[in-house]
Chain A
Amino acid sequence: MPQKLTVASKAPLVAYPALIAAQIAGADVDVAIVDAADVDGVPATLDSVKGTDKIVEALAAAHPANLKYDSKWFDLAFGLFSSKNFKDIAPQLEQLNDFLNFRSYLSGYSAGVNDVLIWGVLRANGVLGAAVKSGTYVNITRWYNHLDQNVKFGGAVQDFLNSVQDLRKQAKVGQKKESKA
């Protein structure tokens, strides 16, 4: 039986890492969208597991071959990089940029779970997204854009956003019908 991943589309930090991790893990997961700021007080739930970080942990535990993360990147993603205060994050962004001077991915030579964690949080965090798009951190920008063009990363987020739009359109149609009646 598939697990149910419920994602709040208006969360301050949308659970993109959970969404992408489920794909990378090859987990049997049905995605449900709630057009609200939270679901049970967190950005996402996976059956009884609550919170983006806990979901990624649970997926990693269940799919260790595909999702073997490094705690360093896990802590960075769900610690500092979740902050909306740019001043808190700037030194870490510089370190990440330095790390990518001679590297194309966070570990190894293809996109892996550490990329999922950091990219997913950057994608969800508007403050960071703006810094990345401005091109101040040239290596981060190259890495970020590369993954944005990856079907499992940027593609998964785009699919999610399309579904959110559809959901909102349907809700509008529903409202109109109700007001006519």
Chain B
Amino acid sequence: VLKIQPSNDDILKEIKFESFTASQQALIHQSLTLSSRLPESLPEMNDVLRQSTYMLNTQKPTEIDSVVFGRAERFVRKFSNEDAVTHRHVVRWADLVQNRLKVDDKIAFELDLAAPREIKK
């Protein structure tokens, strides 16, 4: 089980990129680029996670979920209800990741928060 650490980026040194498919490698690049520009990139991250359960569209969390969570956590933790609705897919993903990976201090999310239905763009 991957552990979330304050400096998750250390995990990056151990990632074997060649073990991922070409499309996953593109997603890795996208995930790392987006998460290096937080919190400005929250809307883009939200768009990615609207369609993808995990960052790399896998069935289980990967190292990249762990790294991105480590980078996003301090912003997501401070979310107001309004922020949570705006970035609902980031919240969904963060809650999934913190429950699938070992996290010491879980963020408390309100999973039944009323959120207006999103209209397809």
Contacts and interface: CB of A to CB of B under 8 A. Distances in A.
A105 to B, nearest CB: 8
Interface stretch (B1-9, B13-21, B66-74, B110-118): B110-118
Interface size class of A (residues with CB under 8 A): 20 to 34
Nearest to A135: B120
Contacts of B120: 134-136, 138
Contacts, number: 52
A98 B99 contact: no
Contacts of A145: 51
Contacts of B88: 101-102
Interface stretch (B26-34, B35-43, B89-97): B89-97
Interface string A79-107: 00000000000000010011011111000
A136 B117 CA distance: 10
B96 A104 contact: yes
Contacts of B25: none
8 A-B pairs with least C-beta separation: A146-B53, A109-B99, A102-B111, A104-B96, A101-B115, A102-B92, A101-B88, A138-B118
